[in-house]
């Protein structure tokens, strides 16, 4: 048979077609929005009107820690403190996908989609629930009437089992905290989830922090923050990345916000954690008492980028410092144990205090003395 | 062409359809096929019996996902069955059927008779693949039906709790279960194409079956290594366990679409390879 090699052409053509499709999908043209100053973009964010949206958020952390899948952390235990320590480690070392539905300031649902499992936080007016499908536990969180300071801050921080932080919430925290200690400039325009966006670049003025810069993509029409990337010094990939993968700026179906605990589920009642006194300007930042990565970076950002948070020994959650997980990841230093990442350092001192901050380890040890 | 002479045909069906029907009937007249389907259906039945007659209730948060849901809603036996069968049993049976397609005929010496008939090699390849697809559907349905029957017989059927904590009625739960069966079927299409290609490479059917099943396992091992996460979106088995996305409220269709695209790419690539191999090889047996 002549030209028998032509029979193999389809087999060569298929990978070529797939490659073309992948490349064409990745490179989409960005229509440039009208030129703008950082101040205009900041005003756009401050006045942003997109209170109704639904979308999928991808969350990635690259802190230089070994990747620990949640299965390896063992089954969820009844001990809330150990469970939360495992949750924090899982958040720090693996990526997450979450669906977010929002309708106005008091209706929010966040669904963290794990493999064969899901963690939910629902808020509908003054009614707030969290649900964990692995343990089949529903927790009701009491929201004080009229006590809503910001959208969604209650369900997502009230329970450590739902570590979801939407780009919107995270960006608002950074922008609230960015005062005179931060240079704000405008980066190149980008496209996030098919929406054209301005890029705000927040650069700390102080050299004493591990944070190199924070980039926030702001939707050009509505001012909704679409993505937040936190860059650590000496690392080209973002240490923390959260972005919408797709976004629909229409009101979600009302049934999404209706939640009744399923029959057979364990139902718990939990009071809203009281904000710690005097721990920064934003009550949202202090709602998370754990030295979680977001909590501590927020708490430190609330004052300045290189500030250090010291949690006295009696305020540290029981079981956190002596949990096997922390022991494995932390390395012994002179004053205690150091959990070192590219963005945040956490020092557990020998007398039980927890010292944390987005600063080099040496600064922490000096502060611990 | 011979198919333009109606008097030589026993009925008015087009030749391709007749070949396809005869292929399917040959497949389902085999004891082996039925043994595999019964074994698949037995998996959820055994799980159901184990949960029903264990002295203690199922532990919460341990064992296969959703195990503690079973006592509230029997339909979840089918869900667990699909999740348990997806990594190994379903690929195993599909590997056996797909690996046998061409190599089985070659080893029996019947391949050249099939090609003497004016079937054409491409048409034979397509029909063999479609018959394998029919088996994929039957295999997923066997697990679903085994689970539903065991669930109805052993447990009450009430409102089913989804991953999101919302509840749905039994009718919708059954619909979701069928959708999950569909997801499992789609997940197996790429593997069936790999099996078809492997089957054109050899005249020893067991070799093709083993190669197909080993590839399915290798793909899952690679999928479990975090160091290779750049490779994961390209792996055959990357979305296999995403069938639980159909148990979210509202349904997360994203993984269904991604899985379908991925499997289509695998079918196109290995189908093209099988075409290249089968149309250029000398049929000696």
- Interface check B232 vs A, CB under 8 A: no
A164 min Cα distance to partner chain B (Å): 15
Predicted ipTM of the assembly: 0.77
What pLDDT does A285 receive? 34
E-strand ranges in A26-116 read 52-61, 96-103, 107-114
Ranking A234-243, B73-82, B260-269 by mean pLDDT, the lowest is A234-243
Chain A residue closest in CA terms to B228: A67
* pLDDT surpassing 90 at residue B285: no
A14-23, A202-211, A354-363, B176-185, range with greatest mean pLDDT: B176-185
User: B162 is in which domain, residue-wise?
Assistant: 11-280
* Residue A67: pLDDT band with limits 50, 70, 90: low
Question: What number of other Cβ atoms are within 10 A of residue A325's Cβ?
Answer: 18
Best A20, A61, A133 member to test B by mutation, with max B CBs in 10 Å, is: A133
Are B248 and A113 inside 8 Å of each other by CB? yes
CA dihedral angle for residue A122, residue A125, residue A128, residue A132, rounded to 10 degrees: -10
Nearest CA in chain A to B268: A14
Query: For residue B280, what is the nearest residue in chain A, using CA coordinates?
Result: A4
The verdict on B226 touching A (C-beta cutoff 8 Å) is yes
pLDDT level of residue A110 (50, 70, 90 thresholds) = confident
B6 is a domain residue: no
Q: Which residues of A touch B (CB under 8 A)?
A: 1, 4, 7-11, 13-15, 17-18, 56, 67, 69, 75-76, 99, 111, 113, 115-118, 120, 129, 131, 133-136, 138, 253, 256, 259-265
Q: Is residue B1 part of a domain?
A: no
Please indicate whether, in this complex, the C-beta atoms of B61 and A115 are within 8 angstroms of each other: no
Of B164, B272, B276, the CB nearest to A118: B164
Q: What is d(CA A153, CA A46) in angstroms, rounded to the nearest whole number?
A: 17
**Tens digit of each residue's pLDDT (9 = 90 or more) over B215-250:** 999 999 999 887 888 898 899 999 998 888 898 888
Number of domains composing chain B: 1
Task: State the best of B57, B58, B59, B61 to mutate against chain A, taking most chain A CBs within 10 Å.
Answer: B61
Q: Output the pLDDT for position B60.
A: 55
Higher pLDDT, A39 or B56: A39
Do the domain assignments include residue B245?
A: yes
Residue B3 resides in a domain: no
Spatial distance between the Cα atoms of A289 and B282, rounded to a whole number of angstroms: 72
Considering only residues A309 and A322, tell me which one the structure prediction assigns the higher pLDDT.
Answer: A309
B265 neighbourhood in chain A, CB within 8 Å:
14, 18
B122-147 tens-digit pLDDT: 888 999 999 999 999 999 999 999 99
CA distance B8 to chain A (A): 31
pLDDT of A298 higher than 60? no
User: What is the topology classification, in CATH, of domain A38-270?
Assistant: outer membrane lipoprotein receptor (LolB), chain A (2.50.20)
How far is the CA of A297 from the CAs of A61, A229, A310, A328, in angstroms?
14, 13, 13, 22
Position B65 scores a pLDDT of: 66
What was the pLDDT predicted at B61?
52
Chain A positions touching B65 (Cβ under 8 A) are 116-117, 134
Q: Contact B164/A133, CB-based, under 8 Å?
A: yes
Buried b / exposed e over A234-263, threshold 16 CB at 10 Å, is eeeebbbbbbbbebebebbeeebbebebbe
Residue with more model confidence, A252 or A277: A252
Residue A31: count other Cβ atoms within 10 Å of its Cβ: 9
**What average pLDDT does range B33-40 have in this prediction?**
96
Q: Which of A166, A91, A92 is nearest to A342 (CA)?
A: A92
- Measured in residues, chain A has a length of 369
Task: Using an 8 Å CB-CB cutoff, list chain A residues near B83.
Answer: 116
| B2: in domain | no
- Interval B90-95 mean pLDDT: 96
Give the number of other CB atoms < 10 A from CB of residue B168. 17
Residue extent(s) of CATH 2.50.20.10 domains in chain A? 38-270
Residue A312 has pLDDT above 80, yes or no: no
Looking at the domain assignment, is residue B4 inside a domain?
no
What is the model's pLDDT at position B179?
94
Contact B79, B157 (CB under 8 A): no
B269 touches chain A (CB under 8 A): yes
Lowest mean pLDDT: which of A83-97, A347-361, B60-74? Answer: A83-97
Residues in B 30-69 with any Cβ partner in A closer than 8 A: 60-62, 65-66, 68-69
User: Are the beta carbons of A4 and B280 separated by less than 8 Å?
Assistant: yes
Comparing alpha-carbon positions, the chain A residue that sits nearest to B162 is A133
Which residues from A are below 8 Å from B276, CB to CB? 7-11
Contact B163 A118 (CB under 8 A): yes
* B272–A contact, CB cutoff 8 A: yes
Measured in degrees and rounded to the nearest 5, phi and psi for residue A161 equal -75, -10
**pLDDT class for B204, splitting at 50, 70, 90?**
very high
Which pLDDT score, from 0 to 100, does residue A75 have? 41
- Judging contacts by C-beta atoms under 8 Å, the chain A residues touching residue B254 are 56
pLDDT of residue A213: 87
- For residues A33 and A191, give the distance between their C-alpha atoms in angstroms, rounded to a whole number: 11
Cα–Cα distance measured from residue A122 to residue A140, given in angstroms and rounded to the nearest whole number: 10
Best CA proximity match to A11, nearest among B115, B197, B203: B197
Residue B285 lies in a domain: no
Counting residues of chain A whose pLDDT is more than 70, the rounded percentage is 69
Cα four-point dihedral sign B56, B61, B63, B68: positive
Q: How close B10 comes to chain A (CA, Å)? A: 34
Higher pLDDT: B59 or A55? It is A55
Per-residue confidence at A323, pLDDT binned at 50, 70, 90? low
Q: Which two tokens stand for residue B131?
A: 């018959």
């Amino acid at each position: 048979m002549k030209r028998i090699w032509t029979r193999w052409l389809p087999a060569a053509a298929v990978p070529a077609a797939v490659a073309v499709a992948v490349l064409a999908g990745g490179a989409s043209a960005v229509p440039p929005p009208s030129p703008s100053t950082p101040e205009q973009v900041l005003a756009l964010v401050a006045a942003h009107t997109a209170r109704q949206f639904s979308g999928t958020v991808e969350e990635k952390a690259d802190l230089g820690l070994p990747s620990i899948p949640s299965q390896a952390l063992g089954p969820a235990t009844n001990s809330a403190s150990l469970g939360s320590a495992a949750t924090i480690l899982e958040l720090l070392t693996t990526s997450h996908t979450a669906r977010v539905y929002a309708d106005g300031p008091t209706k929010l649902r966040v669904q963290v989609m794990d493999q064969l499992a899901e963690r939910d936080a629902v808020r509908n007016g003054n009614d707030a629930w969290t649900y964990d499908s692995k343990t089949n536990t529903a927790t009701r969180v009491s929201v004080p009437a009229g006590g809503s300071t910001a959208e969604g801050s209650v369900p997502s921080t009230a329970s450590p089992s739902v570590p979801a932080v939407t780009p919107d919430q995270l960006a608002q925290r950074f922008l609230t905290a960015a005062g005179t200690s931060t240079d704000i400039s405008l980066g190149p325009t980008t496209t996030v989830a098919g929406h054209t966006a301005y890029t705000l670049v927040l650069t700390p003025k102080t050299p004493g922090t591990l944070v190199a810069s924070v980039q926030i993509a702001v939707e050009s029409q509505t001012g909704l923050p679409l993505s937040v990337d936190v860059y650590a010094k000496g690392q080209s990939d973002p240490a923390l990345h959260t972005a919408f993968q797709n976004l629909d700026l229409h009101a979600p179906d009302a049934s999404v916000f209706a939640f009744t605990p399923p029959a057979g589920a364990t139902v718990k009642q939990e009071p809203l954690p009281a904000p710690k006194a005097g721990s920064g300007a934003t009550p949202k930042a202090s709602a998370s008492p754990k030295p979680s990565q977001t909590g501590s970076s927020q708490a430190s950002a609330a004052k300045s980028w290189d500030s250090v948070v010291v949690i006295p020994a009696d305020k540290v959650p029981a079981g956190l410092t002596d949990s096997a997980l922390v022991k494995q990841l932390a390395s012994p230093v002179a004053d205690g144990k150091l959990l070192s990442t590219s963005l945040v350092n956490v020092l557990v001192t020998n007398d039980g205090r927890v010292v944390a901050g987005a600063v080099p380890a040496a600064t922490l040890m000096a502060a611990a003395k | 062409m011979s198919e333009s002479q109606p008097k030589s045909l026993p009925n008015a069906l087009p030749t391709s359809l007749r070949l396809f029907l005869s292929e399917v009937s040959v497949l389902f007249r085999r004891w082996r096929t039925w043994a595999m389907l019964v074994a698949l259906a037995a998996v959820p039945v055994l799980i159901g019996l184990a949960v029903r007659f264990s002295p203690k209730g199922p532990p919460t948060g341990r064992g296969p996902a959703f195990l503690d849901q079973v006592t509230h809603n029997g339909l979840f036996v089918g869900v667990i069955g699909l999740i348990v069968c997806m990594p190994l049993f379903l690929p195993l049976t599909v590997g056996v059927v797909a690996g046998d397609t061409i190599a089985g005929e070659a080893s029996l010496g019947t391949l050249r008779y099939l090609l003497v008939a004016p079937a054409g090699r491409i048409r034979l390849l397509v029909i063999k693949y479609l018959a394998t697809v029919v088996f994929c559907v039957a295999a997923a349905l066997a697990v679903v039906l085994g689970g539903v029957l065991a669930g109805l017989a052993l447990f009450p059927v009430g409102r089913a709790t989804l991953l999101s904590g919302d509840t749905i009625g039994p009718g919708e739960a059954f619909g979701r279960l069928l959708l999950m069966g569909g997801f499992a079927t789609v997940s197996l299409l790429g593997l069936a194409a790999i099996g078809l290609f492997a089957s054109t490479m050899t005249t020893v059917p067991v070799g093709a079956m083993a190669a197909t099943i080993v590839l399915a396992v290798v793909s899952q091992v690679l999928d479990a290594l975090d160091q290779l996460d750049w490779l994961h979106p390209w792996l055959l088995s990357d979305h296999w366990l995403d069938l639980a996305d159909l148990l979210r409220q509202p349904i997360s269709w994203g993984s269904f679409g991604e899985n379908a695209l991925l499997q289509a790419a695998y079918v196109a690539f290995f189908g093209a390879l099988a075409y290249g191999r089968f149309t250029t090889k000398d049929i000696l047996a």
